[in-house]
Structures are given as C-alpha cells and as structure tokens.
Structure 1
C-alpha cells in the first residue's frame, strides 16, 4: 500500500511538473510574441488595413467581388476606409499591400527590379516554369520582336486569318455565341503569327489543352486528379511537347533554308543573339506564355467590343462609317495594311474605352525585394504588392462620368499619367500591346462591314476573375448581314 501511495505521488508530481513546464512555455511564447509585436509596431509603420481571416486572409472577398460583377468594390471600399494611396490586406496566403491611384501605379512601375519584382502565385509558377527564369534579357528580347515595326508586316496575314474566320464561323448564321467564337479567332491568329500553323486539325488539337491551362493558373496548387491545377499541369505538359517539337523542326528548317528568319515570332526568337542559346523547351515555354496573353485576354476584349457595338447603335454607326471609308479606298481583294490600321482612329477610341471599362486584367502582383517606404508607410521585404486598374479606371477624379461609355474621352483629352493602365506598365508593360491593337482593329473592320448586331439578352452579368472578364451567358448575339 505504501508503494502504491509513493507511485501515485510520483505520477502526480510528474503531472504537475509537466503542467508547470507547459504553462511556462506558453507564457514565455506569449510574452515573446507580445514583446516582438510591440517592438515591431514601434519600429514599423505598416499601411492601415486588416489581414482578414486566419490563413486565407481576404482572398475570398477579393475574388467574390469580381464574381458579383463589381471587382472595384473590394478596392474602393478599403480606399475609403483606410487610405487612398496604399492599404494592407492578405491575399493568396500572403501578406500584401494594395497600391492605389496614379501615384501607386507609378511607384511600382518605376521601381521594377529596384525595390520590387514581378510575382505570381505558386500555382502559376509551377504551370508556367518560364516565369521563374524570365529575366530582363528575355523580356527585352520579346518586347523587341513585338514592336510596331515588326507587327506591321503581319497586318495582311492577320487580315487573311480574319477573312477566313468570318467566312467559316459567322457567315450564314442567324446567331452566334460570341465568347466561344472570338476565342477561335484569336487562337487562330496566335497560331499563325507565333509559329505559322493554321491547319484546322492541329489547331483544334491544341486549343482544348489551352482552355484547360488558364483556369489552373490561380487555383489552389493541389496536384490531385480532377482538380483545375492537375488538369492545367497535364495540359501544359502536352502543349510543351507539341511546341518543343515545332521548335526543333524550325531550327532544322532555318538551317536548310526551308523557313524564313522573319516569317513569324518563333523564327525571330530563334534568330535573336540571346534566343540562339536558349534550350528548345525554354523557347516552347516562352511561346506558351505569349500564347496565353495573345489569345485568351484578347478574345475577352473582342467579346466586349461586340457587346458595346450591339448595345450602342450610335457608336456602331460611327465605327461603320470609318471602316466603310477605309474599305472604299481599296480594291475588293486588297488586304489591309499598316496605313489602314493607322486610319482607324475612332475605332481605336472605342477599343480604348472598352479596355477602360473592362480591362483584360484587373491588376497584377509584385514582390518587395527589400524593405522600403511608400507614403511614410513601411513595406517589409517579401510582402506581395498589388496594383489595380480599379483604383483609377472608374475613378471620377480621373474620368468624368466613369460608368458612361464615351470613346470621345480619348480624342484629345490629356489623361493623367498612370491612370489608364489596361496593359500594365514599367518593365512588365504588356509586350503584345501593339499586336493586340492590330488584331482588335482587324476584327472590328470585318465585324461591322459584314453585320449589324442585336443582343439576345439585353442585360448580361459581367463576371470578373483573376484572368479575364466574361459575360455570364457568353454573349449570344443575333447577326443581320448588310444588304449588298
């Protein structure tokens, strides 16, 4: 009995000792955390804001605001509550600061690779490996080969693709589903201009995987069967093999004189002093990235061009008049050229207004590569930084009656610098800006020359996600061919 009592006493002593040790550890941790927090708060003046829920932060509010058709609400509400210049939040499982207004845009665009660098979530980095080594040299190479002097030679080719597209996908139809149809157009153009392929079977074989690629870029990076991330990984693997084979064959054709050094973007990249030393898989990865920007976001803009032209007959008539004058100056079989594109001034104003109201991207991320201050607020190294078109594009301080569709605002009005940023800015200004301009204007030329338009649904919700804006029903539209 005595031994049992001694054993019980020993167990109780050990229990209380363990409990005391645990209490000591917890208290120590709490004191350390409180000390660290107070020390940090004393030394670091973080931007005002809130982190939201544990782990997920405010990501749900950020994304669902776009799904509800008002992505600007997330930004504007916090600008009003916290700061019109920069506020703190937590997005994509990361501490983040949202930079607002022209001052914020200018700061981020002007400090690329000095204070900040381009950043993508883990899912996008794993799906698009080239983003991890796509440095200044490659960016400069791509921008050089997509400059206006290069793109002008492709205007007749884009025109031929557009003519064939409208003949096969629009003519003879009473109505079309605009979004799906415009994706076909921009994908055809991208395949032709980037690597000179227009065989329907090959294009169809590649278009499906590309459609599965984009949804995975900003998904949860869980590599399990059936997830958007797994589907995107598989699609990227398939596309990579296909494009790597094209790159290998093009090198052979260039060496044997069977391909032209200037026939498409692929030949230009392979002939570049920097591109010559890139691996075949790296060139293929780069082309994949260009393809995503070159067809997916552009198809979205094409869709909204159709939407506004169908909705606003007075705008349509002005575009029709301009495009008719250009058509009258040419023979029936003469292709569009660079001079024709330069005459499409009102049509480009219309495109610019579409890009203001529904920009192809809502914004992009940067990462702080060192500690710095902005507006007297401290931004710690490693924080993710987000700039948004929604802090300026619909701001009445910069655009009068911002919800009104008014192409004339681009006639002669001197826009406040860094307020109109549909293509981003700085080192990461969209390199395909000029390519997109030509493609969109050629599309408009054939659209209004062939059809009048009427929306099937007078009102259709706009859904904004992290990749591109969409119309909820895909914009089904009635087509009324012009009488000859």
Structure 2
C-alpha cells in the first residue's frame, strides 16, 4: 500500500510538473483530432481520461492488482488492440498489437526515441545507452552486444556463476528458510559486475553493492532533486559509484597498449579499445552503472520466477530435474566440467526459461516518443505523443497462446521464439544485448539447484509494479539430496 501511494504521488507530481504542456495538449487535442480527419489515417479510439491526471491512477491501481493487464484488456475490448490514453503525464498511444509494437521497436531515431519518467532520465544521465540515439547508440550497443555473445565471455560467466552459486548454496540450511530472490540477486550482481569492470568480491564490491541499492531505489521516485529527497540521495550514490569506476578506467588506460594485443577481459576494455573518439570516460562510467541494473533486477527475477513456477508444477520440475541429472551423470562419468554450451544444450530447461519469460513479463513494455507523425496498420501516432508497447498483453493473449495463464513449458517444443508475439527482451536496435547471458545464468542456477536440492516453497505472490518481484522474496525450505 505504501508503494501504491508513492507511485500515485509520483504520477500526480510528474503531471503537475508538466502541467503547462499538458494544458496545451488538451487545449489543442480537439484541433489535432479534427486535423487528423484530413489526413489519411485517424487517431486510434480511446479516451484521455481526467484532465491533467489522465488514466494514470487506474493504470497504476490495475498494475498493483492480481490481474495487471486488466487496464489494457478493458480498453482492448472497447477500442481494439491499439488505443489512445493519457498516462504518466503524456498523451499516449498504447499498443497491445504485436505487429505494431514490432514496427515501433524496429524504427530508428528519426521516427521514435526513448521516453522515460523524469526521475529515471535524471538518474540514467544523457549518455546512458537507454537514452542516446543514432550512430552513438548503435556503436555502443554493437560493441557491447558483440562482447556479450563472445565464447570467451560466456566461458568466464560460466566459471564465475558456478563459483558464486556453489558458494551461496554451501551455506543453505534446512532449519531456516532460504530467500531465493535475495540469493539470486547477490549471485547475479557479482557475476555482472565482474563482466563489466572485473571487480572481485571484497571491500570495493561491498561498497558498490551498498551504493547501488541507494541508487536503484530512486528509479521510480518523485522527480524532485533537493537535498534529502529520494532522487537526490540516489544521484549522490551514483556519483560515488562513478568515482570508483573512473579509478578503474584510469588504471586500465595505463595498460591500454597491452589491451589491443589481448582478449578484452570486460566491457570497460571493449569500450576503451574503441578508436572512434566518441566514447568518453564519463560515458563509459555512466553506462557501467546503468548496466548493473539487470544484475539487481531482471536476471535474478527470471531465476526466482522459474523456481516459483516449477514449485507449482511438479510434472515440469520432474522433467527438468531428470534432464539435468542426466547431464550431470554424463559429465561426471567423463570426468569433464560443464561448459556454457552444455547448459544451453538442454532443450526442456530452455523451454522452462522461455515460458518463465513469457508468463513473468519481467519487462512489461517500453515507451517511445514519436518524432514525427507515423502511420501504421491504419493508425496515426502523432508527433510528440508517447507510444507504450505493452508486451504483457501480447504474451498473455489467448489468440497467441493456448491457456496463456497456465505454465506450460511444453508449448515451446513446436513454437517459434522469433515470432513478434514473443518479445521478452524488447527488439530492434535496442534489443537487450545480454539476453544470451541471462539464459545462461538462469540455466546454470537451475542446474545446480535441482541436482542438489529438494524443496518446499512457502506461500508467496508475484508483485508486478513498479517492477516484477516476489512479495516475500520467495522463501523455500530445502533439503539436500542424499540427506534423510
């Protein structure tokens, strides 16, 4: 309830800050609709809701409910899969149509640019990969994406993930609950930080963890940057983290002559090796902090939700366990360690992860701003309006998936994951570069978990807003296999 109040205040405050522009938009909205009649395509059907507030309060209240897509479903039935609304201070075209969303995601910066709440844009900074556009965005995204796909990094991630998973699980006891969400966050954060800046556990890692918690708490805060405010404290935490990363960058630049002759050890090496002159130290440091978010949020939640769904599906758990035990037995007999390709070669394990991504909707959608009037599938998206591509409605649409609310990993045995109906990592030029690593980390965690433990999950529920998470952090009671 406290979080609901905070987010409602955020929505109202964001709207108040933008009040003049909103009044202008409302004053001219009738003219815009009238002018649109003289164009080839009309605006989508829908309503802009209450003056100033729009439909934000209803959207947020639905997002916190057990059926967060109810806001979208109600309007889809009234207006169709693409409709107009007014949420978070902006007139918005909402797309629950897979083809329209794909078009938006694949368009370049001449048509659409990222659009995020003010507090998030201030925390990310102008040089964040989430906000930059054009050639610079393609350059940074391409360099990072190529490195994340490299066998060298996958091998390193596998080694680190195995080490941190085993260290974590070695401390699990059967006389107290294990909080899966906490355990996976600790593991994934360390693995990702190692891949980004080659920082090992120790004093600097603990400092980084502490400051990062302060930083990420402000992502959905009131957009008020004054001493003592949540946003101010988060910005101060980011400055401290940037100072640490800058020290690493400066030390690395002294070794720059050897970097060109060696395989890049982390993302800092990759970006420092760029010769375009566009990637400043500040840009590199800023993006290292921003790219730590998946280690705190999306990857741990993926692993946690997989355990949640498996706990509720004994048949799926049994097949997953048998598949992983078979691989473990084979590798033990051969006397070989598991490599990254072993984990990704398990078909049912990958189906479990895919189904978790579809049902969990860790990223519910993305927001873009139209830089010009855009027409698609008979709809007009006016210049200056936001577009909200809502993935969750597509993933839970019974026209796309039979029994969409049922956890059914077997559905992926004959289904194409490249379809526009499945976009858990976004798409287009901004497709998440770490999607392969997320699958790899989840595969490793599930393998070691199901081959070492039996467990009973305590009662818990999924919270879907402002980010997806387990309400009680997914407590389970474990017993090691072989123990009586």
Shared topology, TM-score over 0.5?
Answer: yes
- Indicate conservation of the 8 Å contact 2:264/2:270, yes or no: yes
Q: Give 1:448-463 correspondences, 5 Å limit.
A: 448-457=450-459, 460-463=460-463
Report the counterpart of residue 113 of structure 1 in structure 2.
109
Superposed CA offset, 1:202-233 (max 9, x none): 22211122223233223331113443322321
Q: Structure 2 vs 1, CA of residues 226 and 43 (structure 1 numbering), >3 Å: closer, same or farther? A: farther
The question of whether the paired residues in 1 share the 8 Å contact of 2:174 and 2:479 is answered with no
Match for residue 7 of structure 2?
Answer: none
Contact kept, 8 Å, 2:174 with 2:477, in 1: the verdict is no
| SS at 1:419 equivalent | coil
Shift of 1:38: 7.5
Q: Distance in 2 between matches of 1:372 and 1:258?
A: 44
Counterpart of 1:99 in structure 2 is 95
Instruction: Provide the rounded CA distance (Å) in 2 between the counterparts of 1:72 and 1:476.
Output: 26
The offset of 1:413, in angstroms, is 2.4
> Is residue 157 of structure 1 aligned with residue 157 of structure 2?
no
CA distance in 1, matches of 2:299, 2:443: 11
Question: How far off is 1:114 after superposition?
Answer: 4.1
Q: Confirm or deny: 8 A CA contact 1:145 1:269 kept in the other structure.
A: no
Q: Determine the structure 2 residue equivalent to 1:55.
A: 52
Query: In the alignment, is the contact (CA less than 8 A) between 1:75 and 1:390 conserved in 2?
Result: no
Counterparts of 1:206 and 1:294, CA distance in 2: 13
Contact persistence 1:309–1:453 (CA under 8 A) = no
Q: Does 1:308 align with 2:305?
A: no
Aligned counterparts, 1:400-439, within 5 A: 400-414=402-416, 417-439=419-441
- Answering whether residue 121 of structure 2 is matched by residue 125 of structure 1, we say yes
The secondary structure found in structure 1 opposite 2:423 is coil
Contact 1:47 1:378 in 2 (8 A): yes
**Computing the radius of gyration over CA atoms, which structure comes out larger, 1 or 2?**
1
Deviations 1:257-280 (A, max 9, x none): 799542222222222334x65222
Distance 1:38-1:374 versus aligned 2 partners, 3 A rule: closer
Q: Which residue of the partner structure matches residue 319 of structure 1?
A: 320
Distance 1:100 1:256, change over 3 A: closer
Secondary structure class of the residue paired with 2:60: helix
CA distance in 2, matches of 1:374, 1:166: 51
Cα offset, 1:406, TM superposition: 0.5
Distance 1:255 1:189, change over 3 A: same
Cα distance in 2, alignment partners of residues 394 and 261 from structure 1: 42
- The answer to whether the aligner puts 1:76 opposite 2:73 as a matched pair is yes
Distance 1:148 1:119 in 2: 31
How far is the alpha carbon of 1:456 from its aligned partner? 1.7
8 A Cα contact 1:127 1:217, kept in partner: yes
2: distance between equivalents of 1:433 and 1:147? 9
Shift, 1:195, TM fit: 1.8
Cα distance in structure 1, aligned partners of 2:262 and 2:150: 19
Q: Would the alpha carbon gap of residues 35 and 254 (structure 1) be closer, same or farther in structure 2, given more than 3 Å must change?
A: closer
Q: What is aligned with 2:297? A: 296
Secondary structure of the equivalent of 2:221? coil
Return 5+ residue gaps in structure 2 as ranges. 1-23
Contact 2:174 2:478 in 1 (8 A): no
Alignment of 1:276-425 (within 5 A): 278-331=279-332, 334-414=336-416, 417-425=419-427
How far, CA to CA, are the matches of 1:40 and 1:178 in structure 2? 54
Q: Say whether residues 1:89 and 2:92 are aligned partners.
A: no
**How far apart are the structure 2 equivalents of 1:375 and 1:191?**
43
Aligned to 1:227: 229
Structure 1 unpaired stretches of 5+: 1-28
- Change over 3 Å in CA distance of 1:241–1:259 after alignment to 2: farther
- Of 35, 38, 63 in structure 2, the residue corresponding to residue 40 of structure 1 is 35
Work out the CA distance in 2 between the residues paired with 1:477 and 1:249. Answer: 43
Contact 1:261 1:268 in 2 (8 A): no
CA distance in 2, matches of 1:35, 1:398: 36
In 2: Cα distance, 1:237 partner to 1:34 partner: 41
Of stretches 429-438 and 245-254 in structure 1, the one that deviates more from structure 2 is: 245-254
Q: Secondary structure at the match of 1:392?
A: helix
TM-score, normalised to structure 2, is: 0.86
Q: Per-residue deviation at 1:401?
A: 0.5
SS of residue in 2 equivalent to 1:106: helix
Match for residue 238 of structure 1 among 240, 243, 246: 240
Specify the alignment match of 1:465 in structure 2. 465
